[in-house]
């Protein structure tokens, strides 16, 4: 399934996404599931399939994309999880994942502008695979972790670099409003096959800046889920961002930061393409 949250007219809903249209399954199932997160928690996939034939078709050109899960309980971010990115930052090898958090109110959807705040000119891209949790769990063994996955999406963990490095804590640079682009769709695991062979690329104005196989992660998805579930209870709809490959703008010579008018595309094979223009805060 390819699932999304969206608006059209005055209606906020969610549903299935086809090549040219979205199916408003959320309205059909409104008495059962308030939103996509509730459907995931209730494991209502059979209900979605049953409701699809009677759902209204909306042309994709008429919808405003929201983050697939607009209201996750937690967004857990993993840093330095590709070897080429670790090397370009000069950070030492680590025994455990580097973890920080992003707030849900910093998120935006596909085609929504990413906002460069007026307090900085150091806005950077970070293409990532987002993992959405489908089943709650604590102390999840790595060999069972993939059973807890609802699906996958593209994410641009856009970062305000100077604010990220004000101290050793990354939080300020990762939580400016309008910087966490998520979507367009959440793709269920049965659609994707071997994740390791999928390719993640980031383009700025059509030029490739990042390019890696998902199998190049230092800490694989199952290990990340197991590790995160040890220090917190994972809940349906939670998002784990699995890290960005090398090639970020901050580590280029000279540094290459995003400017108003730029367009960033995050593509993961079989998952989709997440596209967001850049605007200055005064224009947002």
Cα 59–Cα 150–Cα 221 angle in degrees, nearest 5: 120
> So what's the pLDDT on residue 89?
83
8 A C-beta contact, residue 112 and residue 279: no
Q: Taking Cα atoms as reference points, which of 82, 79, 84 lies closest to residue 215?
A: 82
Q: Torsion angle of alpha carbons 227, 228, 231, 232, nearest 10°?
A: -150
Q: In degrees rounded to 5, what are phi and psi of residue 90?
A: 75, 10
pLDDT for the residue 283: 59
| Nearest-angstrom CA–CA distance, 175 and 195 | 28
Measured CA angle at 17 (ends 183, 210), to 5 deg: 30
- Overall pTM > 0.75: yes
What is the C-alpha to C-alpha distance for residues 213 and 205, in angstroms, rounded to an integer?
22
Rounded CA separation 33/237 (Å) = 13
Q: Where are the domains of the chain?
A: 2-66, 75-283
Specify the 3-state DSSP secondary structure of 174: helix
pLDDT, position 56: 98
- What gap in Å lies between CA 79 and CA 104, rounded to an integer? 18
Beta bridge partners of 132: 151, 239
61 by Cβ neighbours in 10 Å (0-12 / 13-18 / 19+) ranks as: exposed
Q: Look at residues 228, 227, 283, 229 and name the one whose alpha carbon lies nearest to residue 260.
A: 283
Q: What is the spatial distance between Cα 53 and Cα 50, in angstroms, rounded to a whole number?
A: 7
State the residue for tokens 């995160």: 228
- Per-position pLDDT tens, the chain of length 284: 999 999 999 999 999 999 999 999 999 999 999 999 999 999 999 999 999 999 999 999 999 999 999 999 999 999 999 987 888 888 878 899 999 999 999 999 999 999 999 999 999 999 999 999 999 999 999 999 999 999 999 999 999 999 999 998 899 999 999 999 999 999 999 999 999 999 999 999 999 999 999 999 999 999 999 999 999 999 999 999 999 999 999 999 999 999 999 999 999 999 999 999 999 998 54
pLDDT at position 94: 85
Q: Give domain 75-283's CATH number out of 3.90.850.10, 3.20.20.70, 3.40.190.290, 3.30.43.10.
A: 3.90.850.10
Residue 86 vs residues 91, 268, 275: alpha-carbon distances, Å: 6, 21, 26
Alpha-carbon span 163 to 179, nearest angstrom: 13
d(CA 210, CA 204): 10
3-state secondary structure of 115: strand
The closest of 227, 120, 210 to 156, measured between CA atoms, is: 210
By three-state DSSP, how is residue 184 classified? strand
């Amino acid at each position: 399934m390819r699932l999304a949250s969206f608006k059209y007219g005055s209606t906020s809903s969610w549903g299935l996404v086809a090549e040219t249209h979205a199916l408003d399954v959320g309205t059909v199932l409104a008495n059962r599931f308030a939103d996509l997160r509730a459907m995931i928690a209730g494991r209502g996939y059979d209900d979605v399939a049953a409701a699809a034939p009677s759902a209204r078709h909306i042309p994709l050109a008429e919808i405003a994309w929201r983050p697939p899960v607009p209201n996750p309980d937690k967004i857990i971010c993993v840093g330095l999880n590709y070897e080429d990115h670790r090397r370009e930052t000069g950070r030492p090898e680590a025994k455990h994942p580097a973890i920080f958090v992003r707030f849900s109110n910093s998120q935006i959807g596909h085609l929504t502008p990413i906002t460069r705040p007026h307090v900085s000119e150091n806005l950077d891209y970070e293409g990532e695979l987002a993992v959405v949790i489908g089943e709650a769990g604590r102390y999840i063994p790595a060999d069972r972790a993939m059973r807890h996955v609802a699906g996958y999406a593209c994410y641009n963990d856009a970062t305000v670099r100077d604010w990220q490095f004000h101290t050793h804590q990354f939080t300020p640079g990762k939580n400016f409003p309008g910087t966490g682009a998520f979507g367009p769709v959440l793709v269920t695991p049965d659609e994707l096959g071997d994740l390791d062979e999928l390719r993640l690329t980031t383009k700025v104005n059509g030029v490739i800046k990042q390019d890696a196989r998902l199998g190049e992660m230092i800490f694989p998805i199952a290990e990340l889920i197991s590790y995160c579930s040890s220090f917190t209870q994972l809940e349906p709809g939670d998002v784990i961002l699995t890290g960005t490959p090398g090639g970020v703008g901050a580590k280029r010579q000279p540094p290459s930061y995003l400017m108003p008018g730029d367009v960033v595309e995050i593509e993961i094979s079989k998952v989709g393409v997440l596209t967001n223009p850049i605007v200055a805060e005064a224009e947002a």
